[in-house]
Amino acid sequence: MLVLLVAAAAQQRVLPFTILLNASLAPLGVRRVSKLVRTGFLDGQILYRVIPGFLVQFGVAADPTVHARWQRGEKRRLKDEPNRMPFRHGTLSFAGAGTDSRTSHLFVALAPNGVRLGRGTPHEATLGHVVSGMETWERVVANYQKSGYKDTGTLQGPLVQRGNAAAAAYPLLDRIRACHMECQ
């Protein structure tokens, strides 16, 4: 098992949280997340899709050239793994667009509606759970609601093409400041 420590910057405040990854649940997925963290891919990313009571999504590199390296070719796509544990508030999973489409896009499921994810969707498998700092995710949702932004999920394509510069009109979106792994 691995611990993922991340800090989201909300208006210059650092809000840490810890996710305990479980390789026995989704070994390919956990290996991919570990590699994304080790290479710095997640650092500086915008939490671009926030749906209160459902999920917070991230996974587009701050630099579009870095993101492009992770998206090219079939070898960057992970085979699906069965979901071995029901989703709950704080579950980490890959987002995708159908069978064998997992690459770098991740989300944290939020109650009450996010717990329904992972049922019959091939790319959604539990990778681990937030074990401390769940209030960080609640703060991200509160910041998003206060911002007045509508449907920032449409930012995904522009972020892929232009990196964080594509979100200039959304300065209040939280970001991942930095990540690191610890073996447990």
Q: In this predicted model, what pLDDT tens digit does every residue of 38-79 receive, in sequence order?
A: 999 999 999 999 999 999 999 999 999 999 988 876 568 899
Give the span between the Cα atoms of 73 and 138, in whole angstroms.
Answer: 36
Q: Which domain holds residue 51?
A: 2-183
Helix, coil or strand: residue 117: coil
Q: What is the CATH number of the domain that holds 92?
A: 2.40.100.10
The CA distance from 75 to 141, in Å, is 34
Q: Helices marked H in the chain — which ranges? A: 27-38, 64-71, 134-147, 156-162
Cα separation of 98 and 121, whole Å? Answer: 7
Q: CA 83, CA 124: separation in Å to the nearest integer? A: 7
Contact between 111 and 89 under an 8 Å Cβ cutoff? The reply is yes
Task: List, for residues 26-48, the tens digit of each pLDDT value.
Answer: 999 999 999 999 999 999 999 99
69, 163 in Cβ contact below 8 A?
no
- Which DSSP state fits 102? B
Among residues 55, 50, 53, the alpha carbon closest in space to that of 151 is found at 50
Per-residue pLDDT of the chain (184 residues; tens, 9 = 90+): 445 556 665 566 777 888 999 999 999 999 999 999 999 999 999 999 999 999 999 999 999 999 998 887 656 889 999 999 999 999 999 998 889 999 999 999 999 999 999 998 888 999 999 998 898 888 899 989 999 998 888 999 999 999 999 999 998 899 888 888 877 6
pTM of the model: 0.92
Name the domain count of the chain.
1
